[in-house]
Amino acid sequence: MIPRYQKSYFCRMHDIEPYYHWRDAYIASEDKRSPLYGRDYDEFYFTNTIYNYYIHPQWDSFGSQTLYLKILYTSYKHHYAIIELIGEWNDCIYGDIVALRRAVTDQMQLEGIHKFILVSENVLNYHAADDNSYYEEWHEEVSDEEGWIAIVNPLDHVADEMFRYSLQEYVHILSGASWRGNKPSTLLMWVEHQLSSPQHLRVG
């Protein structure tokens, strides 16, 4: 049930669920090493919004006003995580990269994760900050552990903005992954294949 006094309203945004076909293998809220451990979800009560649009209650907030996420899979053995994002990535006004790092990825790095796959198909816009220092810092930290950050399948205009503000110097921006219906390891292998390709633009 939605409170009548809420001014927000439904659109198709509330129908977009995080990818759930890996839940038999991993659930972040049940992983004691996850920054999202212990989160509770109400399938019928919509509270989180992106501007005036409700989003599905399975998405996790992490301190941003316009960007939400779901940790789809984490492998401590192979040191990687797959995180799906939805909303507007706004470093300019809200400092979303700061919130993402401090609330989520910094804690995951302490647990040995240094390969981050950020599935960004549902990121609607990207607004850059004045500088990329937080991306540079993140890149240096994971590189020390032979890791990387990959933004996968951004919308074309989102990728264009990221390239415009030189994010590719610190993260890999990759398109064309057909990952749904496959295992997490298949997406990892696809990313690593892209990074090893002679045609791929190196970061750093």
| CATH, residue 180 | 3.30.750.24
Establish if 181 belongs to a structural domain. yes
Neighbours of 70 (CB within 10 A): 21
Check pLDDT > 80 for residue 9: no
Amino acid at position 12, single letter = R
Rounded mean pLDDT, 133-139: 97
Q: Is residue 164 part of a domain?
A: yes
What is the mean pLDDT of the segment spanning 75-102? Answer: 97
Number of domains in the chain: 1
Q: Is residue 26 part of a domain?
A: no
> Per the domain annotation, does 132 fall within a domain?
yes
CA dist 161 and 33 (Å) reads 34
Is residue 204 over pLDDT 60? no
Q: Which domain holds residue 133?
A: 64-194
The pLDDT > 70 percentage for the chain reads 91
pLDDT average, residue stretch 121-135: 96
The reply to whether 50 falls in a domain is: no
pLDDT for res 44? 73
pLDDT of residue 202: 58
For the chain, the distance separating the N- and C-terminal CA atoms, rounded to the nearest angstrom, is 49
Paired tokens of 5: 């006094």
Asked if residue 122 lies in contact with residue 84, where contact means CB atoms within 8 angstroms, the answer is yes
Write the CA distances from 8 to 53, 63, 183, integer angstroms. Answer: 6, 19, 36
- Tell me the pTM: 0.91
Residue 10 lies in a domain: no
Q: Mean pLDDT, to the nearest integer, of 185-196? A: 96
Q: How far apart are CA 37 and CA 29, in angstroms?
A: 4
17 inside domain: no
CA dist 95 and 93 (Å) reads 6
1 located within any domain: no
